[in-house]
Amino acid sequence: MKRPLSRRTFLATGAASASVFFVPRRSWASVRPAERFKVAVVGCGGRGWSLVQSGGHEDDIVALCDVDLKRAGGAWKAKPDAKKYRDYREMLATEKDLDAVMVGTPDHMHAPIAAAAIRRGLHVYVEKPLTWSIEEARLLTDLAKKHDVATQMGNQGSSHGGLRAGVERLRAGVLGEVREVHVWTNRPVWPQGFHMTLDAPVVPAHLDWDLWLGCAKQRPYHGSYLPFVWRGFHDFGTGALGDMACHTMNLVWRGLDLGVPVSARAETTDPFPATYPKGAKVVLTFPARGDQPPVKLTWWEGSMKPPKDLLDKGLGKMGGSGTLVIGSAGKMFSGDDYQVRQRWLPKERGTIAVAETEPRAPRGPQWGHVKEWLDAAKAGKKSWTDFSVAGPFTEAVLIGDLAIRTAKPIDWNTADMDAKGLAAAKTLVRRDYRKGFGIK
């Protein structure tokens, strides 16, 4: 059997196509663990700036891409030797020697960029939530498997040993049968639940508005979208649930092997046509899994808060965010967004010896969520939150968003990727894409 060519060897033969979509993948077998990867970052402000700064790995950031020169300024100064782009399509077509891409853009552009990179055979890291729509989550999951690349979603708590220990404890059944879970967040901490003004300000010189819109429907620029506030707009973000549940539901979703819910019901404050509401309560019902019973998970956000007496004495204070798991043999509470610290009631529930089934990474400056992904890519292994995990997790979260946006009960048909009999949900499960920014 012939040894697979590495991308660099393949390109040297002159046989590679100039198309973004037809460059063959780099074989993991040809990557030495100590090799320095050539990495690109798309979306260099906000979360993307954190990706640029993520230390502890020995790889080279050789290309930076951002539509907003002002937001990208810090990253561009920090990496003066990296090539600079505004259009990710141009970057992927030009940088033929890349190994990996990190995506830190607004939610609506995660899938178009990641899909193009995966089809290039590049390893891909995408900030949470994985995608804007359920169809996109499934597509990226399938593409990553087809092209055999290493992937990771950016819910950073996943790489912490404290969270993984909590997952092991839940899987070991130390709380007995779990039928009820509550998760809450103080988000949104950005403005949402308002009517747009009708003015159309001039587009700032530092912003390419057409590229920022990307796959979203054409519309005039408005200062209400940027920066950060896009999270609360239907067409660009996924609201507080999409923004935070990939963190705050992480421990229970993995520890209880929840999978995808069969139904979602939402109560919200006043709805608005363009944005998510100021507050919401969403009930996700997950089916029985093996010998585990069905679970009712209640999500609380913004101005709609859980009852003040929800926590027993000994579990701590409610705080702005938290997760409460109620079992037949005890309870677990975590009050931090990443859920790396838990309190168990009775206390001995947290000291029962359980098998260590999940790998642990060393702590310190030479470790991180990004490094775990890059190490997995070099070793031909999966990272802990690769897209086979992140895809279904994101789908579970976005089903809750369907209930918020439609204000209708969602009964989910997983096989058909359809909210049974609810036409209003169809355009939210699958979106229309502007020409040039599609996912297929």
DSSP, residue by residue, 194-206: -PPPS--PPPPTT
Q: Which residues of 92-150 form beta strands (DSSP E)?
A: 100-103, 123-127
160-193+223-360+387-429 matches 38-157 in CATH topology: no
User: pLDDT value at position 421?
Assistant: 84
List, in sequence order, every residue forming a beta bridge with 68; answer none if it has no partner: 207
Could you give the angle at which helices 110-119 and 134-147 cross, rounded to 10 degrees?
20
Q: Encode the chain (440 residues) as per-residue pLDDT tens digits.
A: 333 333 333 333 333 333 333 333 344 334 445 578 999 999 998 888 888 888 666 789 999 999 999 999 999 999 999 999 999 999 999 999 999 999 999 999 999 999 999 999 999 999 999 999 999 999 999 999 999 999 999 999 999 999 999 999 999 999 999 999 999 999 999 999 999 887 889 999 999 999 999 999 999 999 999 999 999 999 999 999 999 999 999 999 999 999 999 999 999 999 999 999 999 999 999 999 999 999 999 999 999 999 999 999 889 899 999 999 999 999 999 999 999 999 999 999 999 999 999 988 766 555 689 989 999 999 999 999 999 999 999 999 999 999 999 999 999 999 999 999 899 999 999 999 999 999 99
Helix (H) or strand (E) holding 77: helix 69-78
Helix (H) or strand (E) holding 178: strand 178-185
160-193+223-360+387-429: CATH homologous superfamily? Answer: Dihydrodipicolinate Reductase; domain 2 (3.30.360.10)
Please state, in angstroms and rounded to a whole number, the distance separating the CA atoms of residues 264 and 287.
Answer: 12
- The encoded tokens of residue 276 equal 């998510």
Peptide bond preceding 188 in cis form (omega within 30 of 0): yes
Provide φ and ψ at 108, rounded to 5°: -65, -20
Q: Which residues of 318-380 form beta strands (DSSP E)?
A: 322-327, 331-334, 343-345
- The tens digit of pLDDT for each residue in 104-126 reads 999 999 999 999 999 999 999 99
User: pTM for this one?
Assistant: 0.91
Class of domain 38-157: alpha beta
User: pLDDT value at position 214?
Assistant: 99
Looking at residue 16, what DSSP letter applies?
Answer: -
Per domain, the residue ranges of the chain are: 38-157, 160-193+223-360+387-429
Distances 230 to 154, 205, 225, 227, 233 between C-alpha atoms, Å:
18, 19, 5, 7, 5
Please state, in angstroms and rounded to a whole number, the distance separating the CA atoms of residues 159 and 164.
Answer: 8
